[in-house]
Amino acid sequence: MRGKKEFSPFELRLKVHYLIKKVFKSHFLFNTLFRSIVPKRNVFKPPAHQPQNTIPVLLNSTQWQNNYFGICFDTDSFPWYTTFIHFCENNRLPYKIFNIHQSDWLEQSRPCDVIFWRPANAQHSIKEAMMKVKILNEMGIKTFPPLYDLMLYENKSLQFSLLRETGLPVVPTFISHDYDESRLFLKDRKMWPLVSKVKTGSASIGVRLLKNEKEASHFLKKAFTRGIRYFWHGDRQKYYVLFQDYVDNMGYDLRIITAGDTFFGYYRYPKKNDFRASGSGFWSFTELPQDALKLAQKVKTTLGLSDCSVDFIRDKNGTLHIIEVSLFTLISSPAQAIVNEQPGYYIRQETGDFIFSEGYLWPQHLMLKHFLQEYVV
Cβ-proximal residues to 133 (8 Å cutoff; 6+ apart), any chain: 117, 143, 145, 147, 150
CATH code assigned at 201: 3.30.1490.20
Same domain? For 281 and 353 the reply is yes
* CA neighbor of 331 nearest in space, from 265, 276, 272: 265
Indicate the number of domains in the chain: 2
Distance in angstroms (rounded) separating the CA atoms of residues 183 and 217? 7
Task: Check residue 258 and give its pLDDT.
Answer: 97
Q: Give a yes or no: residue 74 inside a domain.
A: no
Indicate if 253 and 335 belong to the same structural domain: yes
What is the spatial distance between Cα 123 and Cα 129, in angstroms, rounded to a whole number? 10
15 vs 238, residue with greater confidence = 238
Residue 75 domain flag: no
Please give the angle made by the CA atoms of 36, 41 and 43, to the nearest 5 degrees.
Answer: 85
What is the per-residue DSSP string for 317-336?
TS-EEEEEEES-----SS-S
Residues 181 and 291 in one domain: no
Q: Residue 202 domain-assigned?
A: yes
Q: What is the CATH number of the domain that holds 348?
A: 3.30.470.20
For the segment 215-243, what is each residue's pLDDT rounded down to a tens digit? 999 999 999 998 887 655 556 788 899 99
On whether residue 119 sits in a domain, the answer given is: no
In a domain, 129, yes or no: no
- The last residue of one of the domains, among 204, 221, 245, is 245
Nearest-angstrom CA–CA distance, 141 and 96: 15
Amino acid present at 321: H
pLDDT per residue as tens digits for the range 317-328: 999 999 989 888
Residues 343 and 237 occupy one common structural domain: no
pLDDT > 70 fraction of the chain, expressed in percent and rounded: 79
- Domain, as residue range, for 205: 172-245
Residue type, 195: V
The residue from 212, 245, 278 where one domain ends is 245
Q: Are residues 208 and 253 in the same domain?
A: no
Same domain, 224 and 326: no
How far is residue 341's CA from residue 325's CA, in Å, rounded to a whole number?
A: 27
351 in a domain, yes or no?
Answer: yes
pTM confidence score: 0.85
Q: Is the pLDDT of residue 137 over 70?
A: yes
My answer on whether 224 and 311 are in the same domain is: no
Q: Find how far residue 199's CA is from the centre of its chain.
A: 13
Q: Are residues 329 and 292 in the same domain?
A: yes
Q: Kindly state the average pLDDT of the residues 79-84.
A: 91
Q: Are residues 239 and 253 in the same domain?
A: no
For helices 28-37 and 11-24, angle between their N-to-C axes, nearest 10 degrees: 140
Confidence (pLDDT) at 84: 95
What radius of gyration do the chain's Cα atoms show? 21
Instruction: Give SS3 for 286.
Output: coil
Same domain (yes/no): 209, 300: no
Q: Which has the higher per-residue pLDDT, 376 or 6?
A: 376
Instruction: Verify that 289 and 204 share a domain, yes or no.
Output: no
Of 209, 225, 245, which residue is a domain's last?
245
In a domain, 164, yes or no: no
207 and 263 fall within a common domain: no
pLDDT reading at 259 higher than 60: yes
| DSSP E strands, 153-227 | 173-176, 194-196, 208-210
Per-residue pLDDT tens for 167-209? 999 998 999 999 999 999 999 999 899 999 887 665 556 688 8
**Domain membership flag for residue 320:** yes
Picking from 96-105, 130-139, 223-232, which range would have the lowest pLDDT averaged per residue? Answer: 223-232
